[in-house]
Copies of this chain bind each other. A is one copy, B any other.
């Protein structure tokens, strides 16, 4: 990696010389300081325009000690859930005058640590990061950047960061209970990659849901795959082989559920008549799928918005106190895939979110 600053658009010195003032005055004009005479101001701005001068951001940052930029690091920008988070954070950042850049970590811990290091090295002022694994190394790397990072996803209680989380067990429980209340007796569960935080909480919610309605857990009803459409597509075949009497499926995310819908259609199995299907996340595709897909929203946009506010409150110095733990509560969204009437029973998502806040 080699590079040299190519385009020299002039320095504040040259602007000062051209305007017949000192560099300090140019700086004051450009930063809208109160005490500058209109006449000087005009001369400076003329000179700036004439030279096409743009202040060097690097020098400015070194001097002032901040760069005016935050970043959002996500495992996969192709995932609609992270896109929703990104859009929400972007909205907050723009409104509050901050520059936001996105970093795609591709789920690699090395990349996550790199983002944290960028923060430590003052390449950015703040960071919102979503990690799938939350390793020890990751937690250790949070220490030195306290007060400038927000984690989306669960971290241990004592971790010195602001944190936004969602009770996804509760969400999984809601989904399973919904299927049972619909009359399903044999509910299959397609989980994502084992060992990740999301998959662990979903299987727990699945068990809780069964238990709450007095049904027994049957390992034959559970398969694992990855969190993609194709993952769901191939997993449902294995599931049906293990449990041909299946009458309901809970998929760990909407992408997998959509793969399930597609495969079931191919096999001539009617949804929801023969098998009811529910996913989790509430991505846009749910409303496009055939049949439209019931799901449990995990309020991605809402979490993004909150994370953005928390981070900026912190680095703008508005928030000084304890580390925040904000938890959002999932909500069931019923659509055709679990509705024998094939009627959408629910309004638009993401409104009136249930948000609980605790110290």
Contact = CB atoms under 8 A, between A and B. Distances in A.
A259 to B, nearest CB: 8
A246 to B, nearest CB: 22
A116 to B, nearest CB: 10
A137 interface: no
Q: A interface, how many residues as a size bin?
A: 35 or more
A2 to B, nearest CB: 5
Contacts of A99: 118, 123
A68 B1 contact: yes
A317 B118 contact: no
* Copies of this chain, count: 2
B120 A54 contact: yes
B59 A62 contact: yes
A104 B86 contact: yes
Nearest to A262: B288
Most B C-beta atoms less than 10 A away, residue of A55, A78, A229: A78
A107 to B, nearest CB: 13
A243 interface: no
A32 interface: no
Contacts of A69: 123
Interface of A: 1-7, 9, 52, 54-59, 61-62, 65-69, 71, 77-78, 80, 83, 86-87, 90, 96-104, 106, 117-118, 120-123, 125, 144-148, 229, 258-259, 262, 265, 284-285, 288, 290, 315-317
13 contacts: A5-B65, A7-B144, A7-B145, A54-B120, A56-B62, A56-B122, A58-B58, A69-B123, A77-B86, A78-B80, A99-B123, A101-B102, A102-B103
